[in-house]
Amino acid sequence: MISNSQFSLTLVGLAAAFTVASTALGAAPTLQYSRACEKADDTLIIASVGDVLAHAPLQRQAYASHKGFESLWEKVAPWLSQPDLTYGNLEGPTAAGVTRSRKLVADPGPVYD
């Protein structure tokens, strides 16, 4: 049985417990499962990077390369590709063919933000 008051997560052999606080409206009902979780033979490796900001100097560097924005990641790609899951917090829009006011337009090509 897993209750709503504690959640256990195992990553790369390390166990971490997270306590979920009850709301002022009262505790949520207890969650019940037909069987307990089984220990896995495999591990899941998760990596993350902080805020990714493509300011004008990086935009110019990417547009100058035939590889585009992929060129910005070349030196760190070997490390980012090793984990099972890698994610980053992208701080900015990446929609081609949409203006800042969300109007659909033909792709304007490189635009420095």
User: Per-domain residue ranges for the chain?
Assistant: 46-104
Residue-wise pLDDT for 17-75, tens only, equals 333 344 445 667 777 777 777 777 788 899 998 888 888 888 889 889 999 888 988 99
DSSP secondary structure letter of residue 67: T
Torsion of CA 25, 27, 32, 37, to 10 degrees: 120
Write out the two tokens for 94. Answer: 């990446």
Q: What is the rounded distance in angstroms from the CA atom of residue 93 to the CA atom of residue 113?
A: 10
DSSP secondary structure letter of residue 112: -
Residue-wise pLDDT for 85-97, tens only, equals 999 898 876 667 7
